[in-house]
Structure 1
Amino acid sequence: MTAPPDPPHGGDPPAGWSQPPPYPQPPQQRRPADQVLSIIGFVCAAVAVLFVPIVFGLAGIVLGIVGHSRGEPLGKWAAVAAGVGMIVGFVLGYLVVSGSYA
């Protein structure tokens, strides 16, 4: 048995030769501007405390979960903050409404 010959220099390699696989690309680093969904989720959490907690709270939770699934590190915290903001908004709304009928 003989070893296969070295590939020729220059030009295309013969049919039996192949190129090595390309190196894997390093993962892209996310910039702070890429956390748009998480930031909007935090804004919805703050708004849910004072205005329509069911709408803004749920919107913040959904935006936080979607942001987290897309790799935003603050996504889960935006969802948690929106949930807390929604609950605080409900309690605050209940206290305002019950106090006005007293």
Structure 2
Amino acid sequence: MTSSQDPPQGDDQPHDAADGTAAWSPRPAPAQRPRVSDQVLSIIGFVCAAVAVLFVPVLFGLAGVVLGIVGHTRGEPLGRWAAIAAGAGMLLGTVLSILLTPG
């Protein structure tokens, strides 16, 4: 005999499938979002892009492009944009240094 405090027995429990896994889950699996720690190369590439505008554009611009490309090949979503930003920062920094250098 069951008391009134016991949970009801019924079909609200998940049934095991043939392979031993649960047939359904009470909540959906969370969407996989890239974490900040997964995008370290892209973030450093963006930093190099910003630094390339003001200091040694060829060095920091190339470093940012390489980091962005490597990040992109490793699956970082922002890797391609970091490489593009570093290339643009390198070009902008080079043009600024040519225009601002007394000559």
Range class of TM-score, shorter chain: 0.5 to 0.7
Cα distance per residue 1:34-58 (max 9 Å; x no partner):
1000000000000000000010000
Q: What RMSD over aligned residues (CA atoms) do the two structures have, in Å? A: 1.4
Match of 1:92 among 70, 86, 96: 96
Q: Percent identity?
A: 71
Which structure 2 residues correspond to residues 72-91 of structure 1 after superposition, within 5 A?
72-91=76-95
Match of 1:35 among 28, 34, 39: 39
**TM-score if structure 1 supplies the norm length?**
0.67
List runs of 5+ in structure 2 lacking aligned partners.
1-18, 20-31
User: Which AA in structure 2 matches 1:61?
Assistant: V
**TM-score if structure 2 supplies the norm length?**
0.67
1:31 Cα deviation (Å)?
1.5
Classify the secondary structure of the residue corresponding to 2:34.
coil
User: Which AA in structure 1 matches 2:66?
Assistant: V
List runs of 5+ in structure 1 lacking aligned partners.
1-19, 21-27
Q: After the TM superposition, which parts of structure 1 deviate over 2 Å for at least 4 consecutive aligned residues?
A: none
